Amino acid sequence: MIKIKAKDVDVFYGKKQALFNISLDIEENQVTALIGPSGCGKSTFLRCLNRMNDVIDICSVKGEILINDFNINDKGCDVVRLREKIGMVFQKPNPFPKTLYENVSYGPTIHGIAQSKQEMDEIVETSLKKAALWEEVKDRLHEPGTGLSGGQQQRLCIARAISVRPEVILMDEPCSALDPIATAQIEELIDELKKEHTIIIVTHSMAQAARVSQNTGFFHLGQLIEHGSTDKIFKNPDNKKTQDYITGRFG
Amino acid sequence: MNLILFTFIVLLGFTSYYFGRKKAYTIQSTKKRLTALPQFYGYYLAIWCAIPAFIIFSLWAIFEPTIVKLLVLNDYSNQGYLDDELNLIYEKTKALSRGQFTGEITPFIEASAEKYLSLRSIAQSSKVVIVLTIIIASVAYAYKRISSNSRTREPVEKFLNAVLFTASLAAILTTIGIVFSLIFQTIDFFKVIPLFDFVFGTHWYPAKAFVRDSSEALDPSMYSDTFGAVPIFAGTFFIAFIAMCVAIPIGLMSGIYLAEYASSKVRQYAKPLIEILAGIPTVVYGFFAALTVGPFLKELGTSMGLEVSAESALAAGGVMGIMIIPFISSLSDDVITSVPQSLRDGSYAMGATKSETIKRVIFPAALPGIVGSILLGVSRAIGETMIVVMASGLAANLTLNPLESTSTITAQIVVILIGDQAFGDPKTQAAFALGMSLFLVTLCLNIVALRVVKKYREKYE
């Protein structure tokens, strides 16, 4: 089933065009990897999906992005509700300078999801459990989140993102600041999370894309060169450029 | 004379720099590799010129007056003069030699003055000769010594290190000196006025101390109920409180607006405009408070049937608050701007609105810096003088009514030290005691500020 449908998306930074005519369908409850060399626009595309580009003054987005058949670039779109549905995990772990508990309860608080303290405790616990962090931190929920290791911080950010039960989780190179062990933990987690969430991950690591994703899109110079199932892209790409990038001949 | 010598030494320094570099170039041209860049050879020689010059100048400044005095007064030894009288004679001699002596000129003193002048000129010319000889000798020695593999970089770096160290030492020593002069005068003050009366007395009336005839003996009992500092401490904190009531909300809100809401264009113009407020001299604020705000408040109060003094704590505190706005707004703007963008992104990506992000993420992250800026504003408010002197009067009333006039520590120091004053008089020393208390208050504020900042400091990694 198609969860997100992007149609002819153009993105401009001031006068410079960063994305050209991107059309891409994203399958529900699967992991879609976006790969491509630095500066190719894959992160920009990712940020279109929860309208994070709104934060950048000079950035403008054209085209249609349908999520559940609703165009999020419409004037009527409520960005707060949109971002409740579409969570995001960033490249560098960015826990808030608050306690672990407050980090996870942040989303439910601002969206008024929990009715009672008890309910909130449950949300925090399930979110941390889903993020495979509960066992490590359950005794120090009221210590600052910034005191964790890099990998733990990133899992805390994932727990924060899933605390509001988003339908889609966007991940912007979530492992680039982590060591191989933490990376393996996150990848395992991604596999687990796709049962309940649709995941789109931007990554520089071809191996990671091959390991975690079912679908892959290859971006180059602001254009979507090719997309399809990960198997096909990695084993038998249609495009010469994709072939070259995957075999490491450029990029 | 000294100026010419000094200029000459500076020129000599430049010349030796030039020669040192030139020698380095010469060595380089023989295809030998130098141990340092040619400039270092130049600096090295210039230092060999500067250090001996500095040492000799300092020695001369220390010893020349003593030696000359000894030699001049040598004539008067064995004549049974006391030390004080000898000093007086020496002062007369010096005055005469400058042509500023007005008393009766005795032949003795005339002879001493001549001797003094001739000794001075001998000293001067020998100084020139000695300085120049030693400098030239030392530069020549160093010049001969430097070769392709001599170490020049390390000594130059060490010299710079020493110069920078001396500079910071000077600042620290000055601070210590000021604190000690405060402490000693304060101790003298508390010898006459009991500490208890000062800290807990509720009546401040230093003018009473004027009444004493200087020929009368010092009688501590007459100062009772004169130097009770409670009213002026209360006034200080009261006015500072009014000022912060104005400055904190406005400053903080404009800081948040500038950092988070304003477009870059608005920010580009608004920030310098707000900072202009900080550039207005406090005297100008003072007469703004005294001539505009004070009378306005009085009229406003009268029309509402309130008794308002033309010099009110409200006028002074309010204007002081306006003065402090730019400190708080500008500093908190900087602090908020320096909160990493990743935290904002994280919050927005959770679906938080701008105000939620500011309230829940950015403000807590920026809190240490904001508290710091507020405490800085408080110390400004407590130390501010001019506005209070001009707008809130000099009478130290013990009151919590913002519409009455009251006075502060700084304003009282001004009152005490304006006009004639005798050193060693309790009235003058009271100023030191006040200064000391002010210093202690600001010190405590700074310590508290540091503690707060440390405790709430968040790591962003």
First to last CA, chain A: 32
pLDDT digits (tens, 9 = 90+) for B92-120: 888 888 877 777 777 878 888 888 888 88
Contact B346 A98 (CB under 8 A): no
Least confidently predicted of A109-123, B216-230, B233-247, B441-455: B216-230
pLDDT digits (tens, 9 = 90+) for B277-319: 888 998 999 988 888 888 888 888 888 888 888 788 899 999 9
pLDDT digits (tens, 9 = 90+) for A55-107: 888 899 999 999 988 899 988 889 999 999 999 999 999 999 889 999 999 99
Nearest to A146 among B342, B348, B459 (CB): B459
Query: pLDDT value at position B422?
Result: 67
First to last CA, chain B: 62
pLDDT digits (tens, 9 = 90+) for B200-245: 888 887 766 655 555 555 565 666 677 888 888 898 999 999 999 9
Tell me the average pLDDT across B12-34.
Answer: 87
Nearest to B343 among A79, A94, A111 (CB): A94
Do the domain assignments include residue A251? no
CA of A107 vs chain B CAs: smallest distance (Å) = 6
- To test the contact with chain B by mutation, choose from A96, A98, A169, A176 the residue with the greatest count of B C-beta atoms within 10 A, namely A96
**What is the 3 state secondary structure string of A72-124?**
CCCCCCCHHHHHHHEEEECCCCCCCCCEHHHHHHHHHHHHCCCCCHHHHHHHH
Please determine, for residue A162, whether its predicted confidence score (pLDDT) is greater than 50. yes
- To test the contact with chain A by mutation, choose from B336, B342, B344, B350 the residue with the greatest count of A C-beta atoms within 10 A, namely B350
Tell me the average pLDDT across A170-183.
Answer: 89
Please determine, for residue B372, whether its predicted confidence score (pLDDT) is greater than 60. yes
- How far apart are alpha carbons B274 and B41 in whole angstroms? 50
Average pLDDT, chain A: 91
Residues on chain A touching B344 (C-beta within 8 angstroms) = 55
Nearest to B346 among A57, A90, A164 (CB): A90
Give domain B230-456's CATH architecture.
Answer: Orthogonal Bundle (1.10)
pLDDT digits (tens, 9 = 90+) for B126-169: 888 998 899 999 999 988 888 877 788 888 999 999 999 999 99
Q: SS3 breakdown of chain A: % helix, strand, coil, rounded to 5?
A: 40, 25, 30
Tell me the average pLDDT across B386-392.
Answer: 86
Average pLDDT, chain B: 85
* Beta carbons within 10 angstroms of residue B147's beta carbon: 13
Nearest to B351 among A90, A107, A144 (CB): A107
Contact B351 A160 (CB under 8 A): no
Percent of all residues in chain B with a pLDDT value above 90, rounded to a whole number: 23
Residues on chain B touching A144 (C-beta within 8 angstroms) = 458
Contact B349 A107 (CB under 8 A): no
Percent of all residues in chain A with a pLDDT value above 70, rounded to a whole number: 99
Do the domain assignments include residue A14? yes
Query: pLDDT value at position B461?
Result: 36
Tell me the average pLDDT across B314-335.
Answer: 91
Instruction: Look at residues B253, B255, B252 and name the one whose alpha carbon lies nearest to residue B334.
Output: B255
Show which residues on chain B lie within 8 Å of chain A, measured between beta carbons.
263-264, 340, 342-353, 356, 360-361, 364-365, 458-461
Nearest to B364 among A52, A97, A160 (CB): A97
Contact B349 A83 (CB under 8 A): yes
Query: pLDDT value at position A169?
Result: 95
Task: Please check whether residue A247 is in contact with residue A210, taking contact to mean a CB–CB distance below 8 angstroms.
Answer: no
Residues on chain B touching A97 (C-beta within 8 angstroms) = 343, 361, 364-365, 458-460
Residues on chain A touching B264 (C-beta within 8 angstroms) = 57
Contact A52 B349 (CB under 8 A): yes
Tell me the average pLDDT across A40-67.
Answer: 90
CA of B379 vs chain A CAs: smallest distance (Å) = 29
Query: pLDDT value at position A111?
Result: 92
What DSSP line would sit under A145-188, residue for residue?
Answer: GGGS-HHHHHHHHHHHHHTT--SEEEEESTTTTS-HHHHHHHHH
Residues on chain B touching A82 (C-beta within 8 angstroms) = 351
Tell me the average pLDDT across A33-41.
Answer: 91
A/B interface, count of CB pairs below 8 Å: 78
Please determine, for residue A192, whether its predicted confidence score (pLDDT) is greater than 50. yes
- To test the contact with chain B by mutation, choose from A79, A110, A113, A167 the residue with the greatest count of B C-beta atoms within 10 A, namely A110
Residue B457: band (very low, low, confident or very high) from pLDDT cuts 50, 70, 90 = low
Please determine, for residue B349, whether its predicted confidence score (pLDDT) is greater than 70. yes
Instruction: Look at residues B332, B368, B451 and name the one whose alpha carbon lies nearest to residue A97.
Output: B368
Q: Which domain holds residue A7?
A: 2-246
Contact A87 B350 (CB under 8 A): yes
Query: pLDDT value at position B214?
Result: 53
Top-confidence residue, B348 or B81: B348
Task: Please check whether residue B110 is in contact with residue B120, taking contact to mean a CB–CB distance below 8 angstroms.
Answer: no
Query: pLDDT value at position B459?
Result: 46
Please determine, for residue B24, whether its predicted confidence score (pLDDT) is greater than 80. yes
pLDDT digits (tens, 9 = 90+) for B46-89: 998 888 888 988 898 889 888 888 888 887 777 777 778 888 88
Show which residues on chain A lie within 8 Å of chain B, measured between beta carbons.
50, 52, 55, 57, 79-84, 87-88, 90, 92, 94-98, 106-107, 110-111, 144, 146-147, 157, 160-161, 164
- How far apart are alpha carbons A211 and A187 in whole angstroms? 8
- How far apart are alpha carbons B41 and B35 in whole angstroms? 10
Token duo for residue B92: 């007369």
The domain spanning residue A100 has which CATH number?
3.40.50.300
Tell me the average pLDDT across B346-357.
Answer: 93
Tell me the average pLDDT across B17-21.
Answer: 90
Do the domain assignments include residue A11? yes
Residue B460: band (very low, low, confident or very high) from pLDDT cuts 50, 70, 90 = very low
**B123-131: which pairs have CB atoms within 8 A and are 24 or more residues apart?**
B123/B60, B123/B64, B123/B67, B123/B68, B124/B1, B127/B5, B127/B56, B127/B60, B127/B64, B128/B1, B128/B5, B130/B56, B131/B5, B131/B9, B131/B52, B131/B53, B131/B56, B131/B57
Residues on chain B touching A164 (C-beta within 8 angstroms) = 350-351
- How far apart are alpha carbons B76 and B31 in whole angstroms? 69
Please determine, for residue B448, whether its predicted confidence score (pLDDT) is greater than 70. yes
**Total of domains in chain A:** 1
Tell me the average pLDDT across B172-198.
Answer: 89
- How far apart are alpha carbons A103 and A169 in whole angstroms? 17
Query: Quick one: closest CA in B to A156, which residue?
Result: B346
Token duo for residue B68: 């000359």
Contact B459 A97 (CB under 8 A): yes
CA of B460 vs chain A CAs: smallest distance (Å) = 7
